[in-house]
Amino acid sequence: MNAQAVVRLVMCWLTLLAWPASAEDGVSAQAPGRLLPVAGSMLHILCTGAGAPTVVLQAGLGGNVLDWTYVQPILAQRFRVCSFDRPGAGWSERTDQPRSADAMAEELHLLLAAAGEPGPFLMVGHSLGGLLSLHYAQRYPDEVVGLVLLDAMHPDQFTRFPEAGVALPDDPHLVLGRTPVAAAAYGMPAPLQRLAQELAGQGKARVFVVREMLGFVSDAREVRALPIPHVASRVLVHGNREWDQAYPDGRMEEAWTKMQSELASELGAPLPTVVQGSGHQIPLDAPQAVVDAVEALALALGR
């Protein structure tokens, strides 16, 4: 696809996301998708395009459907594509359900069913969304034909990083307090930067970032307690070594690269693709790399 075609697609996407809001929405745009009743809450899902398999996009911590601003409209030219907001994020409401990997897999399963999306699914997950997509494949193996993991949280990282001398933050309230709302605008096109900050600044969004962070270690244990599925997969890893800023001797990057290679091996996937020039936010830094990985996997599946 040439650059002009990509620009036209993204401009159409921005038009969809910038629809005027009513006063009670609390943000400057109405939900671009549908709000559906799931597990005692109202969850937001946005499905576009047509074609099999259905690609399901799951954002990382604090993310929402805006994280896929560049990826979804391109993929939707060939596939049915669904992005969604976990409870508290984006346009989804709060929930009283626990923020465990099991609970979040069940919520997504129910949300896809409520949306009338039968699959099969090719799951694409970024960071925490990668770990949760992996767990979805563990819980619902008959629904998942492929996985694309983008700098996905590793089920062993909470032991492996400390073993490598890397200290992970353990106080989510402190992390949230030190993260400005403006960070939510990172990588977003200018017309969406204000909206991204409004969504991230909502009280419900900040509460659920903390709730999800508090569940990190137990989520990882839930994933490790089950066999890693041998499903057609691709693993992408950031390539700009941004974590050398925290550990200039490279210990964090080295540990991360090793874990990602081991995860690819467990999945039966090729060696990870290092996305040169991209930071951790691969869907925003290098959307074409995500598109290429999905298309390559679909081709390998004969789709």
Q: Classify residue 176: in a domain, yes or no.
A: yes
Q: Classify residue 123: in a domain, yes or no.
A: yes
What is the side-by-side order of every strand in the sheet holding 81-85?
34-38, 41-48, 81-85, 54-58, 121-126, 144-150, 233-238, 273-275
Q: Classify residue 216: in a domain, yes or no.
A: yes
Q: Which residues pair with 126 in a beta bridge?
A: 150
pLDDT (mean) for 185-213: 93
Residue (of 44, 54, 46, 60) closest to 75 by Cα position: 54
Q: Which domain holds residue 211?
A: 32-300
Q: Classify residue 18: in a domain, yes or no.
A: no
Question: What residue type is assigned to position 41 of the chain?
Answer: S
The predicted pLDDT at position 59 comes to 98
Question: What residue type is assigned to position 205 of the chain?
Answer: A
Q: Where are the alpha helices (DSSP H) in 18-100?
A: 71-75
Question: What residue type is assigned to position 268 of the chain?
Answer: G
Burial track 145-169 (b if 16+ CB lie within 10 A, e otherwise): bbbbbbbbbbbbbbebbeebebeee
Q: Is the dihedral of CA 274, 279, 280, 283 positive or negative?
A: negative
Q: Is the pLDDT of residue 114 over 90?
A: yes
Q: Classify residue 117: in a domain, yes or no.
A: yes
pLDDT (mean) for 63-75: 97
Q: Is the pLDDT of residue 82 over 50?
A: yes
Q: Is the pLDDT of residue 3 over 50?
A: no
The predicted pLDDT at position 174 comes to 74
SS3 content of the chain, % helix, strand, coil (to 5): 50, 15, 40
The per-residue pLDDT for range 206-231, each reduced to its tens digit, is 899 999 999 999 999 999 999 999 99
Cβ-contact 216, 252 below 8 angstroms: no
| 22 compared with 213, residue with greater pLDDT | 213
Q: Classify residue 170: in a domain, yes or no.
A: yes
Q: Classify residue 171: in a domain, yes or no.
A: yes
Q: Classify residue 20: in a domain, yes or no.
A: no
CATH number, residue 241: 3.40.50.1820
The per-residue pLDDT for range 253-301, each reduced to its tens digit, is 999 999 999 999 999 999 999 999 999 999 999 999 999 999 999 999 9
Cβ-contact 120, 205 below 8 angstroms: no
Give the lowest-confidence range in 14-18, 62-66, 145-149, 196-200.
14-18
When pLDDT is cut at 50, 70 and 90, the band that residue 158 belongs to is very high
Burial of 302 (0-12, 13-18, 19+ CB in 10 A): exposed
The predicted pLDDT at position 239 comes to 97
**Total number of domains constituting the chain:** 1
